[in-house]
Amino acid sequence: MITTDTSVREQIVSTADRLFYKQGYNLTGINQIIEEAGVAKASLYYHFHSKEDLCVAYLKRRGEKWSAMLAKYIEGVSDPKEAIIKCFECRSKYLQQNGFSGCSYIRIIAEMPQRSAKINKQAVLNKEKQREFFAEQVSKLKKVPGNSVKDFANTIFLLFDGATVQCQVYRELSPIENALKALKILL
- Binding residues for DNA, rule: CB under 7 A, are 1, 3-5, 7-9, 28-32, 38-43, 45-47, 50-52
Beta strands in the chain (DSSP E): none
**CB count in 10 Å sphere of residue 99:** 11
114 binds a second copy, rule: CB under 8 A = yes
**Contacting residue, 4, 78, 113, 117, with a second copy by CB under 8 A:** 113
Minimum Å distance from CB 133 to a second copy?
15
SS3 39: coil
Separation of alpha carbons 17 and 109, rounded Å? 16
- Residue 169 interacts, among a second copy, DNA, none and using kind-specific CB cut-offs from 5 to 8 Å, with a second copy
Of 6-14, 43-51, 72-80, 142-150, the segment contacting a second copy by CB under 8 A is 142-150
Q: Does 169 bind a second copy (CB under 8 A)?
A: yes
Least spacing, CB of residue 64 vs DNA, in Å: 21
Cβ 116 to DNA, closest distance in Å?
A: 10
Q: In this structure, are residues 48 and 57 in contact, taking their beta carbons and an 8 Å threshold?
A: yes
Among 111, 118, 144, 187, binds a second copy (CB under 8 A): 111
63 near a second copy, rule: CB under 8 A? no
Q: Residue type at 180?
A: L
Q: Which residues contact 147 (CB under 8 A, 6 or more apart)?
A: none
Rounded Cα distance, 25 and 29, in Å: 8
